[in-house]
Structure 1
């Protein structure tokens, strides 16, 4: 095999030779860079024979295990029915002719039976040897049409829409309740004190002010009821819309590119935010209002609509939508890429709760850094008009200008410390709960 790959007889393999090799056997790898980096132990950009031999040896056990999973008859051969059975069990669509083409593509001697040697020769240069990834690539009629292999192959399974909605709702409710005290601290910082009152100088000062309220420790959860009511349908809609949009807009639904993920994430976030936005107003008002000012969620919404007009229920929606599109796009894209990159590195393992937490934390941090100033502006616009908080800003741009003029650029990031303290565990718990709930519901069905 080495002689076949080393076409220039230099004793070294380069990117061009690897690319030609994977293309010649129709592997779904449009860029051999990942494969090169996996082989290149000394990172000199070339593969010598010892590096290649080590790479093949390390993959031998994995390839035998995958072959054994497909050879369910234990006949030491794989036939059409074996591949069809496994693809069906993985919820991967493939027509009969496509499956027969797979067998023909791998079968060197034409007997319609795949030996381990034939299977090994075909797949040895495939970066991801996870059985799901292998069969997902088989599910594509044109295996070499993948946009990129830097993001590992994602399986597009047929998930029940009700399950996706329920999983998203449960994830949102649990994550927000778990981090409600930090969320209230964040909102207090973002909105700032009423005119004439000094700003908070530390988290401890803000915490003491909450503890001094008449309701005691329950004051930390002020507005959380609205948050749960809001976040459950919002998260459910976001995940459900994202799962469906990414396959609708993708050129190849089996291999979704990062830009396609970004577009689906942004659109799903904007739609979800628009539908529940009045609850955002109620959440902010209840979190910063003195006890007794509003009589619950309905009382808050009706009071705002009656005293400030129905349009007040959508105050601040411009920066909200301006922030949710890049946030959702960055958040969901980074999360998917982190999880897929892990799967490519550890193809025989499923990501555990810790891995999902790390992926969620990373994606949340990236999204927050990009969009946080818009969140601060949104909160300021939502809060103005309340008793003791007069109208100070004439829209989003005016709010930006006045915040920077009065407090410097740092004013656009006030409250970012409690926000990160809240956002990382909140989003991480949300994703883990979503994944685990979805897995449970799929198994139950």
Structure 2
């Protein structure tokens, strides 16, 4: 199913509708006026609608219920009655602004929700195709008449065909928009983008993790920790644990970026569009991704902050299972999910809001195409990363302390997440919850900037290639 719901293979009994309108539509398609719509007339109608001829077979299969190779007025009326009900629901979904008409902003929102990357020219061209009276908005009658004969699984397919037709026939700005909805595209782009970014900022990640675990040991000084790492491990110590991190970060972000769209869509179908749905969808996607790779995250944290305790990822996973039980691989997972709620909600929501502000602000600006390129992606990603860090860091700090206590000679001091938060506040003050926050911001700002910038570029490349 797409925006049009289930395929209309079975039609309903006709109900009282605007018979004059139905008859006018029938006469419009019945070019020779013989009382039936035949294949040639349908092909001509599709050409006028700037759509390829292959749609004719599906249309005939749906409307020609007695399979005599022609469509009479009764068959057409029955089809129109059922289809108008379905199209009305679709029109209401497109009418995001709830004005009774679909404007450029509404069209942008819809295409974004379908995981498309529309440019200002894409939006302009689609509105022009529907907008018969040149008012700049799409009325219900215009929407219905242009889509009445179509039964696509997803509007994105029809939109792309319209734009390609426009491009082939010399119109400006057509044929560039493609769906990124091949389910693996966002996941692959998110995973690869995160792997690239985390390798670039690995020394900052090492600094962040070590300060969370042992900040008091170094007097809260980032420079003291850096000097210690270089002295005892050399420059390469900054990348200690990065290989393990790649094993974790690639699938984690692949799940996060891949799950965000479908989860958000499912939430919106239940509760409608709005801030709540955006926050809920982002938070749930974060919880799914954290839970799916949690043992790798736990092992990576121990390897990074306790040099020499484990030989590698496999050794860490095996020894933790043997010495502490398999359940220890999920030690602190509830804490991780508590952290994931504010972190992913703030990260994705702020990024999406900034991206929407950037793109939507340029709709209709001359002939320029406004897309999220690498440079813009860096800025927007930095916004998302900083917001997520600030929102989630107290929980991140507490969960890491819980995860790493009792390892590498560290005492086991806390019974749970909130006991840890309370204990840190009592002994170190509120600032103790933010031990390493400067390193975390210094790391997450460029890391998120690189991640989202790479994500947009890789997603575009995958879309255009596959």
* Fold in common (TM above 0.5): yes
Contact 2:211-2:220 within 8 A present in 1 as well: no
Query: How far does residue 398 in structure 1 lie from its aligned partner after superposition?
Result: 1.1
Other structure's SS at 2:300 match = helix
Other structure's SS at 1:198 match = helix
Deviations 1:279-325 (A, max 9, x none): 111111111113x2211011112122222222221222222100102
Q: 1:135 to 1:241 in 2, by over 3 A?
A: farther
Q: 1:130 to 1:208 in 2, by over 3 A?
A: same
Match of 1:213 in 2: 232
Q: How does 1:420-431 map to 2 (within 5 A)?
A: 420-431=441-452
Q: 1:202 to 1:125 in 2, by over 3 A?
A: closer
Choose which of 194, 199, 202 in structure 2 pairs with 1:172: 194
Deviations 1:175-215 (A, max 9, x none): 1111100001001111126xxx733342211111110124x
Query: How far does residue 219 in structure 1 lie from its aligned partner after superposition?
Result: 0.8
Aligned-partner Cα distance in 2 for 1:142–1:372: 48
State yes or no: 1:434 paired with 2:455. yes
Match of 1:199 in 2: 218
Aligned-partner Cα distance in 1 for 2:123–2:104: 14
Q: How does 1:85-104 map to 2 (within 5 A)?
A: 85=51
Choose which of 211, 229, 233 in structure 2 pairs with 1:189: 211
Match of 1:28 in 2: none
Choose which of 320, 324, 333 in structure 2 pairs with 1:308: 324
- Could you list the runs of 5+ residues in structure 1 that have no partner in the other structure? 1-78, 89-94, 106-121, 144-154
Match of 1:329 in 2: 345
Query: How far does residue 125 in structure 1 lie from its aligned partner after superposition?
Result: 10
Q: 1:260 to 1:293 in 2, by over 3 A?
A: same
Q: 1:385 to 1:141 in 2, by over 3 A?
A: farther
Output the TM-score relative to the length of structure 2: 0.63
Query: How far does residue 142 in structure 1 lie from its aligned partner after superposition?
Result: 6.7
Q: 1:126 to 1:437 in 2, by over 3 A?
A: closer
Per mean C-alpha deviation after superposition, the further-off stretch among 408-417 and 124-133 is: 124-133
Contact 1:168-1:236 within 8 A present in 2 as well: yes
Match of 2:296 in 1: 279
Kindly report the root-mean-square deviation, in angstroms, between the aligned alpha carbons of the 2 structures: 3.6
Aligned-partner Cα distance in 2 for 1:328–1:235: 11
Aligned-partner Cα distance in 1 for 2:248–2:240: 14
Query: How far does residue 433 in structure 1 lie from its aligned partner after superposition?
Result: 1.0
Choose which of 272, 283, 295 in structure 1 pairs with 2:311: 295
State yes or no: 1:341 paired with 2:379. no
Contact 2:264-2:278 within 8 A present in 1 as well: yes
Match of 2:111 in 1: none
Deviations 1:117-151 (A, max 9, x none): xxxxx9799998924445777699979xxxxxxxx
Q: 1:134 to 1:218 in 2, by over 3 A?
A: same
User: How many pairs does the alignment contain?
Assistant: 325
Q: 1:234 to 1:257 in 2, by over 3 A?
A: same
Aligned-partner Cα distance in 2 for 1:229–1:141: 51
- Could you list the runs of 5+ residues in structure 2 that have no partner in the other structure? 1-44, 55-78, 92-101, 109-118, 132-137, 142-176, 364-368
Q: 1:123 to 1:381 in 2, by over 3 A?
A: closer
Other structure's SS at 2:232 match = coil
Aligned-partner Cα distance in 2 for 1:314–1:413: 24
Output the TM-score relative to the length of structure 1: 0.65
Deviations 1:386-428 (A, max 9, x none): 1311211111111111100110000011101110010011111
Other structure's SS at 1:213 match = helix
Other structure's SS at 1:349 match = coil
